[in-house]
Amino acid sequence: MITPTQTKPLQESLVDRFSTHIELTALLGIPGAGCVALALFQQIPRFICSQAQVIFLAAEITSLTIVFILILALRASLAGSSAPTGIYRNLLDFLAMANWHPSVKVALVALIVLPQVWFLHIDRYLLFVMLKQMGARALQSGDFETKLETVAMIWQDALVGGVPLLFAMHMISRWKPQNRFLPWLLVPIFIAGVAISLFLIVMIAHLG
């Protein structure tokens, strides 16, 4: 009979045995599935308004599930005794969202929150106002769906421009781990970079 204390070393040995395969799969799978999820992100607001296409919605849910599973698997692999070191480990840590510097976590929160704050600032007819006035009928409104799609589009554009900057910030924080101030000095630079990239992406989309 296998006791709980014997099960844990057995699980760890299995993770160590397949760690290379897990890491390579995550290295390709997380960015790939993430790009699919990002490209189909507008299916979520369309689902809320009962306008989503079943095939695309299923692809969106599947890709998000794959990303979640691969992140958990990669985290388990990196916790094993055979985890890689050096630049490759830094890259995998970024994909696993593990061992991030606090400044990188703050930058991620800013990347998620600030674009929506900007949208709500410039849009005087807010989504919650429509919900308050129209109730559940707002979900059937074309204007409400358009606003939800705009929110999704802003997140898409912000992530397209922000994730590479977030990765650069993560790698710099690993490059100078003994420097306590450099990672925090990069936060306002990161926010400015996201704002510039978001503006350029929107301009290019409109010109296109």
The tens digit of pLDDT for each residue in 89-101 reads 999 999 999 999 9
Percent helix, percent strand, percent coil in the chain, to nearest 5: 85, 0, 15
Model confidence over 113-145: pLDDT tens digits?
888 777 776 665 566 666 666 666 666 666 667
CA angle 14, 74, 26 (to 5 degrees): 110
Whole-number pLDDT of residue 14: 59
Residues 82, 119, single domain; the answer is: no
What is the Cα–Cα distance from 147 to 86, expressed in whole angstroms? 44
**2 has a pLDDT exceeding 50:** no
Give the mean model confidence (pLDDT) for residues 48-66.
89
Q: How far is CA 9 from CA 19, 71, 80, in A?
A: 15, 21, 11
Whole-model pTM over 0.85: no
What is the Cα–Cα distance from 171 to 190, expressed in whole angstroms? 13
Q: Which of 42, 68, 99 is the last residue of a domain?
A: 99
Q: Which of 44-48, 49-53, 130-134 has the lowest mean pLDDT?
A: 130-134
For 133, other C-beta atoms within 10 Å of its C-beta total: 10
Residues 43, 6, single domain; the answer is: yes
Express as a percent the part of the chain with pLDDT over 70: 80
Structural domain count of the chain: 2
Residues 75, 150, single domain; the answer is: no
Whole-number pLDDT of residue 203: 81
Question: Within 13 Å of residue 201, how many CA atoms lie on the same side as its CB?
Answer: 16
Confidence grade of residue 44 (pLDDT, cut at 50, 70, 90): confident
What is the Cα–Cα distance from 55 to 101, expressed in whole angstroms? 38
Q: Which of 99, 131, 163 is the last residue of a domain?
A: 99
Could you tell me the residue range of the domain that residue 28 belongs to? 1-99
Confidence grade of residue 102 (pLDDT, cut at 50, 70, 90): very high
